[in-house]
Structure 1
Amino acid sequence: MQWKGVLALALAAPSSALVRFHCSQLVTERLDPLVQPGSIPSTHVHQIVGGNSFNASMEPGVYDMPAESTCTSCQFSDDFSNYWTAVLYFRAQNGSYKRVPQLGNNQFTSANGGLTIYYMQDAIYEPEQKSNVTAFKPGFRMFIGDVYARTLEQAARYRQLTYTCLDTFVTRSPELIAFPQRKCKEGIMTSLRFPTCWDGKNLDSPDHMAHMSYPETGTFESAGPCPSTHPVRTAQVMYEVVWDTKPFNNLEWPADGSNPFVWSFGDATGYANHADYVFGWKGDSLQRVMDSPCHFKTNCAEYGHKMQSIAEMNKCTQKPVVDEDIDGWLPVLPGGFQAEYAPN
């Protein structure tokens, strides 16, 4: 896929927003149009937010997400993108599994679970954003993480995927790469940060990652330059997911106190944390948002952006296509997975 002239546009278009908003839960089921397009069901359970045109295929270049959607579970009314992650389960000592629910984050506590989304030009939470970045284009999609990672060494490539043990609901440090090994009073938050350098040509790649890169040196947070192979600087897309592990703190944990949580595809280490993104903003609405002085401490509607109430976001849901029990106490994870720990 080619996008002619995008590099010149990226260098010319200043951005000033630091956007933070919430998306309520759209659906939780085994579908994955990015990694396993057309498969019904996909191998493991995901939780999805965004436009209600989400389905098993969503062929890029053919599928117009804003046109196909009738609602979005996101706060920005023009955002029909889909954002999703795997689902967390609790593993009891008898080997059965129970899905961990999600909570609305901070001021979005009345939301129906879901994710909090960031689009950041600079890695500082200040109103003035100085970097020049470009918005993604129709058909753009990306993935971050490794579902097969079971060791720190394997996870090190994705240093922007972390866990925070919430001692309070606003705790944000320390960040861990593996699952917390203790009970977290207010839950576990996962933070998933996508790369910020684009090759300027391809809207996707076979592994859904090669068209994107981390900075040549340092990290996004240190404002490192993009490599020559990926010269176009984009905003960093970041997800925050709050998993309500509180109901499980009073249940019997492993005798050694180790973590009893497991991802829906069997990873019990936490190293295989991952996320998917399919761009679906209407027209140039994302670029207009980013070019405004919108900041998560302000009301972005002040700058002409269409915003929904949390009640309106909560109304946008989908009925699962895959008919199976994902919420009861299950002998195996949906798809037949069992907890898989780090190799000896």
Structure 2
Amino acid sequence: MKTFSLALAAATAAVPAQAALRFGCSTLTIQRLDPLVEPGNIPSAHLHQIVGGNAFNATMEGDVGERGTCTTCTFTEDFSNYWTAVMFFKADNGSYHRVNIMQNTALPNGINGGMTVYYTQQDFSSNGNQKITSFKPGFRMVVGNTAANSRQANGLKFVCLKDKGTRFPELDDFPKMTSQADCPGGIMTVHHFPACWDGKNLDSPDHQSHMYNTVKEAFQNSGPCPASHPIRVPQVAYETLWDTRPFASIWPKDGRNPLVLSNGDVKGYGTHADYLFGWKGDSLQRAMDSQCMFTGCENGNPLKSQAIGPMNSCTVPKLVDENIDGWLPELPGRPGGMPM
């Protein structure tokens, strides 16, 4: 297993700064690929919504930041990849339709899809007087368990949107909806990753054990890192807004939940997300060492940024030849839907 020396722990003595990144990423691709959990498999077991750098492939090793040539994210030095399971709507006749994602209200208009990515330090506005250490090339992690049938760890949530600005309450499973009008703005999934690293392993067999979760709810203060995982890294979080509004006229009238994740989960407890670090050079460390906040980090202060057009035009080849659009008789890769 690849390791990185714990000697970097000495960096914690450096003077901390207060910085936070919040930025949009347009859709890179929607495919059955998973280079973390199922490296090399074409296709993987279920469909993913993927954003970020164009080095994304069925197998990914080494320094991704040095291989990317474009990115769907705001910052041009960020060739990381961020992905989640896809949400589907199941009609009364048993067919499935993919639910599109839409941009967050905090993002500029025109982003294709629009997953929101955060790198915070301790909470939404501070670092708790700690040195925040950037991830290293080759780092990756997963949050969530596709087989979960009950509440998982803090930080994996659903939000019923009255509008795009809604953030509470946070729910452990799909919102209870008798009609689409119960969540007129759609549904948001929230994935907060652990922020304590063991300082040695860039990955682990379960893609989680090299990290320790001190995350609380809704960008609240994270607790101290334990001795086993002493290195505080940026708190990565995704917000993904799913546009359920087109299904209002065919919402089940019997109270049945019509929403299902692409891994076959009809409850929502199996929500999960993957992260593969790909920032170029020391760009993320420079950002974490700065005083910038959100859009104030753009335009070279200290990160290079790009307009929406280049974000939307960055793509990768389609490696899995299957239809994922329109009404489908089954979930891609999961005959009959295979509900949990």
TM-score by length of 2: 0.92
Preserved CA contact (<8 Å) 1:44 1:264: yes
The alpha-carbon deviation at position 340 of structure 1 amounts to: 5.4
Q: Does 1:108 align with 2:103?
A: no
Q: Does 1:162 align with 2:162?
A: no
Q: Does 1:289 align with 2:287?
A: yes
Name whichever of 298-307 and 237-246 sits farther off: 298-307
Query: Aligned AA for 1:212?
Result: M
1:236-263: per-residue Cα shift (whole Å, max 9, x none)? 10000010111012213151x2321000
The alpha-carbon deviation at position 189 of structure 1 amounts to: 0.6
Residue 45 of structure 2 is matched in structure 1 by: 43
Preserved CA contact (<8 Å) 1:139 1:278: yes
Query: Aligned AA for 1:160?
Result: G
Tell me, what secondary structure is at the counterpart of 1:303?
coil
Q: Percent identity?
A: 51
Preserved CA contact (<8 Å) 2:30 2:47: yes
Structure 1 residues 283 and 235, CA gap change in structure 2 (3 angstroms): same
Query: Aligned AA for 1:329?
Result: W
The alpha-carbon deviation at position 212 of structure 1 amounts to: 0.1
Residue 3 of structure 1 is matched in structure 2 by: 4
Tell me, what secondary structure is at the counterpart of 2:56?
coil
The alpha-carbon deviation at position 6 of structure 1 amounts to: 1.6
Preserved CA contact (<8 Å) 2:143 2:208: yes
1:235-246 equivalences in 2 (<5 Å): 235-246=234-245
Tell me, what secondary structure is at the counterpart of 1:287?
helix
Q: Does 1:176 align with 2:171?
A: yes
| Distance in 1 of aligned mates of 2:192 and 2:247 | 27
Tell me, what secondary structure is at the counterpart of 2:312?
helix
The correspondence for 2:301, drawn from 303, 316, 321, is: 303
Preserved CA contact (<8 Å) 1:264 1:337: no
Displaced runs of 4 or more, over 3 A: 126-131, 217-220, 337-342
| Distance in 2 of aligned mates of 1:299 and 1:202 | 29
Residue 66 of structure 2 is matched in structure 1 by: 67
The alpha-carbon deviation at position 339 of structure 1 amounts to: 4.3
| Distance in 2 of aligned mates of 1:108 and 1:129 | 30
| Distance in 1 of aligned mates of 2:13 and 2:197 | 13
Structure 1 residues 115 and 218, CA gap change in structure 2 (3 angstroms): closer
Structure 1 residues 204 and 264, CA gap change in structure 2 (3 angstroms): same
Q: Does 1:122 align with 2:90?
A: no
The alpha-carbon deviation at position 129 of structure 1 amounts to: 6.7
Preserved CA contact (<8 Å) 2:122 2:221: no
Preserved CA contact (<8 Å) 1:127 1:295: no
The alpha-carbon deviation at position 27 of structure 1 amounts to: 0.3
Query: Aligned AA for 2:186?
Result: G
| Distance in 1 of aligned mates of 2:11 and 2:77 | 22
Residue 269 of structure 2 is matched in structure 1 by: 271
1:132-153: per-residue Cα shift (whole Å, max 9, x none)? 211101111000000001223x
TM-score by length of 1: 0.91
| Distance in 2 of aligned mates of 1:177 and 1:100 | 20
| Distance in 2 of aligned mates of 1:302 and 1:46 | 32
Query: Aligned AA for 2:213?
Result: Y
| Distance in 1 of aligned mates of 2:321 and 2:284 | 35
Query: Aligned AA for 2:174?
Result: F
Residue 134 of structure 1 is matched in structure 2 by: 133
Q: How many residues align?
A: 332
Residue 316 of structure 2 is matched in structure 1 by: 318
| Distance in 1 of aligned mates of 2:112 and 2:142 | 24
The alpha-carbon deviation at position 8 of structure 1 amounts to: 1.2
| Distance in 2 of aligned mates of 1:181 and 1:259 | 7
Give the alignment's Cα RMSD to 1 decimal. 1.9
The alpha-carbon deviation at position 207 of structure 1 amounts to: 0.4
| Distance in 2 of aligned mates of 1:141 and 1:302 | 26
Query: Aligned AA for 2:112?
Result: N
Unaligned runs of 5+ in 1: none
| Distance in 1 of aligned mates of 2:211 and 2:268 | 23
The alpha-carbon deviation at position 331 of structure 1 amounts to: 1.0
The alpha-carbon deviation at position 270 of structure 1 amounts to: 0.4
Query: Aligned AA for 2:3?
Result: Q
1:54-75: per-residue Cα shift (whole Å, max 9, x none)? 000112x3xx322322101110
Query: Aligned AA for 1:324?
Result: E
